[in-house]
Amino acid sequence: ATVTYDFDVGWVHANPDEAFNRPTIGINGQWPIPPIVATKGDRIVVNVKNSLSNESTSLHFHGLYQNGSTHMDGPPSVTQCGIAPGSSFTYNFTVDQPGTYWYHSHSRGQYPDGLRGPLIIHDPDSPHKDLYDEEIVLTFSDWYHDLMDGLLAGFISIANPSGAEPVPNAALVNDTQNLTVSITPGKTYLFRMVNMGAFAAQYVWFEHHTMQIVEVDGIYTEPTDADMIYMTAAQRYSVLITAKNTSDANFAFVGSMDQDLFDVIPDGLNPNVTGWLVYDNGKDKPAPQEVDAFEPFDDFTLVPVDKEEAYSHVDHTVQLDLKMDNLNDGANYAFFNDVTYVAPKVPTLYTALSTGANATDPAIYGSNTNQFVLGANEVVEIVLNNNDPGKHPFHLHGHAFQVVSRSDEEAGSYDASNAPELPATPMRRDTILVRPNGNVVLRFRADNPGIWLFHCHIEWHVASGLIATLIENPLGLQDQLAGKIPQNHLDACKTSNEPTEGNAAGN
Ligand code: C2O
């Protein structure tokens, strides 16, 4: 089937924490914006009209592989030009992967301003389909009272020499702080949880109920119990929760922002958002416990249902040494291998499609895109060394990667000669927490020709240039997409292409 959405993107007003009314980016005059919902095998068509009047926009469908459709992936300067104010643009692709995803603007600062929502792909063949009665989507996010434009200007300024990221004003669940979920005793629920935040990871727990994890980032897992989950920006978890058999009481559930991420904790910040499982409307809604009453679950231990084995042989290693720095010119920079990403004028995809045999030469993609050209079907390993005392949630477009190694904090750089044993059937996902001064090793097969970003999902760090570009099988890509870029995509490049991603100081 084809599911079609007509999205008119424009400014509205919203006050989700009932503390501050602010301009917010909505769709069709509404905010929260609608979920995208489809079934495995469907074609999704999203007709976008940009009515923002002041800036270009884009949509990215986070976690979808876009196999054969990298030109529908969304990031401006990478796979398309930004959609200028007043113009229209169509995303059109099929989706074969079930699970819990989300969609968001990939234009600078726009998703924290409101342009983000859940994207759910149903699966008639889910291995867990007989285990639950109903499903409920829970989106968690941080929330700022100020607009990103002003916050970004302050973040990247001489007045912020330490590079401290702006701290959110509030946390939200389903874009409110007043969520109640009606529960029927004895039923089992599938909660599809998404962190749509710009910055804060959240600890999530349900008082006096156990979560059973069955999916992470679109990958089915062997059912695994957890008391509390640590969900970074952009990660998703589906959990089964079986309701109690009586309706004697109601129970809180909580998203609690990880305050370790914040350089300064503002007075009066409430890091929590609380919702309630309501068994009986006439009864109290009790306050929850504190976050340290629980131990967070370690996602490295999860086992995918398909038991895909670890790639034991690597064809191509991409090593990325991460560094954050302030070059004493008032801008906050982030680097991979001493290069901060600056968006190219021509989208990297269009360069790959128009350069014939030269498309395999990394040099043609410029000197600021942290570009790596991957050969067809290579097993690729990304070694990421975090030379920074902060936590970073890293996301790869176009693939779910095997997490073959993840160090504790302060472990320093990865040492291949002293590598830990490979997990037999490693966890796969598309967004992974990298610990302070630690490292991760990720593997995947380059079987999806395309231009795929690899970046920290903290929006502040995107604006500091913490992005690499993987150019996967560019010659295969030329064959695949020859003559297939729609005219409305090409036309987008004739109009404005701001704001784009990448180092805001360098643009
Ligand atoms: Cu949520 Cu570059 O993506």
Q: Hey, what domains does the chain have and what are their CATH numbers?
A: 2-127 (2.60.40.420), 130-301 (2.60.40.420), 316-492 (2.60.40.420)
Q: What is the 8-class DSSP label of residue 355?
A: S
pLDDT in tens, 62-90: 999 999 999 999 999 999 999 999 999 99
3-state SS of 134-200 is EEEEEEEEEECCCCHHHHHHHHCCCCCCCCCCCCCCEEEECCECCCEEECCCCCEEEEEEEECCCCC
CA distance 406 to 417: 15
- List helix spans (H) across 240-399: 348-354
pTM of the complete model beyond 0.90 = yes
pLDDT of 391 over the 60 cut: yes
Please state the atom number of ligand 1 nearest to the C-alpha of residue 234: 1
Q: What is the average pLDDT across 407-413? A: 97
pLDDT of residue 333: 86
pLDDT of residue 326: 75
Q: What is the mean pLDDT of the chain?
A: 95
Residue type, 358: N
Please state the atom number of ligand 1 nearest to the C-alpha of residue 102: 1
Extract the tokens encoding 327: 């070059």
Residue 32 CA to ligand 1 centre (angstroms) = 19
pLDDT of 501 over the 80 cut: no
* Pocket flag, ligand 1, residue 106 (CB < 6 Å): yes
Residue 193 CA to ligand 1 centre (angstroms) = 17
pLDDT category at 507 given cuts 50, 70, 90 is very low
pLDDT category at 500 given cuts 50, 70, 90 is low
CA distance 148 to 11: 13
* Pocket flag, ligand 1, residue 399 (CB < 6 Å): no
- In 208-293 the beta strands, taken as DSSP E runs, fall at 211-216, 219-226, 229-231, 236-242, 251-257, 272-278
pLDDT of residue 499: 56
pLDDT of residue 505: 60
pLDDT category at 446 given cuts 50, 70, 90 is very high
pLDDT in tens, 263-291: 999 999 999 999 999 999 999 999 999 99
Higher pLDDT, 435 or 161: 435
**Residue 442's closest CA among 430, 452, 455?**
430
* Pocket flag, ligand 1, residue 467 (CB < 6 Å): no
CA angle 104, 179, 8 (to 5 degrees): 30
Residue 395 CA to ligand 1 centre (angstroms) = 7
Q: Write down the residue that tokens 């395999």 correspond to.
A: 360
pLDDT of residue 502: 74
pLDDT of 260 over the 60 cut: yes
Q: Which residues contact 346 (CB under 8 A, 6 or more apart)?
A: 493
Q: Write down the residue that tokens 């009986």 correspond to.
A: 280
CA distance 353 to 200: 37
* Percentage of the residues of the chain whose pLDDT score is greater than 70: 97
In DSSP terms, which residues pair with 450 in a beta bridge?
Answer: 472
